[in-house]
Copies of this chain bind each other. A is one copy, B any other.
């Protein structure tokens, strides 16, 4: 295992732009990635907020390859590669690892409920053995409110014992600080790199020794979130955290993905940003108006939005 610097910072599950007929728009995707990098946000492409599970593995491969061909640095990417179907997870994880991605973010298989830790261990072990690349770095994706399949501490311990180094860390989207804290305390001393699942717990996670956050709202509010990451030991850190929370709260009044897309459409004037794939539904006119009023009241800005237009 080669020694690599510990991954830190703010990552965002990059929104996937669609055309009116629900096809991924590779060109807008690339521009959005460049805008995020410009603001020091890493690219957790194919996350929950990317509608990744609404994409086929072929669509994901083409989007990833498009970024690589355009020169987007792989070491700033952490693609989501989990899938209910083991061969798909192996295929996409292998591709990301060979391309030099900083890591992959892996959902557990999420169709069956009540599966055992033994079954999940076998799943992750099968991916690791299938990819068979010592550069592989897996960040486990714990998001029980959506997946309904948790990553337990017993499972993390067992995976760390068997695959130290490869099991690199976690995104904790449980929404429960006690969960994140317990992961930090249990596995941080072993180099396990915990990212908060939103900026809500960014400051607490950094104070607890974690790596940063992987957050949906990084797609629309990157500047202030990155600012807190860079200055978390400054006297105004708690005040910064409060301002982040206030902006996030505006988005959280609406379905998050359509709301972020509507905000980008608003700030860029590009109406095609609103499209989502079913089963998601774009905001209606009244929702969009309420969102804009809320964001205006919170002093929300999207600097350099012209890069996205």
Contact = CB atoms under 8 A, between A and B. Distances in A.
A56 B109 contact: no
Given A59-B87, A87-B59, A148-B148, A116 B54 contact: no
Interface in A122-149: 122-123, 125-126, 145-149
Question: A57, A85, A277, A279 — which one has the most chain B CB atoms within 10 A of its CB?
Answer: A279
Contacts of A22: 86, 126
Contacts of A111: 48, 53-54, 110, 146-147
Given A110-B111, A115-B280, A84 B122 contact: no
A277 B115 contact: no
Nearest to A116: B281
A286 to B, nearest CB: 15
A125 to B, nearest CB: 8
B145 A113 contact: yes
A269 interface: no
B109 A278 contact: yes
Given A87-B56, A126-B22, A281 B119 contact: yes
A88 interface: yes
Contacts of A115: 279-280
A278 B53 CA distance: 19
A279 B113 contact: no
Interface string A77-102: 00000001111100000000000000
Interface in A145-186: 145-149
A146 B112 contact: yes
A228 to B, nearest CB: 29
Nearest to A108: B279
A: contact size bracket: 35 or more
A26 interface: no
Question: A111, A115, A119 — which one has the most chain B CB atoms within 10 A of its CB?
Answer: A111
A112 B280 contact: yes
B53 A113 contact: no
Contact of A109 (B54, B87, B112, B281): B54
B86 A118 contact: no
A249 B181 CA distance: 42
A120 interface: yes
A85 B54 contact: yes
A278 B113 contact: no
Nearest to A115: B279
Contacts of A149: 279
A307 interface: no
Contacts of A54: 84-86, 109, 111
16 contacts: A53-B112, A54-B84, A86-B277, A110-B110, A113-B148, A115-B279, A116-B279, A116-B281, A118-B281, A119-B278, A119-B280, A120-B278, A120-B279, A125-B278, A126-B278, A148-B148
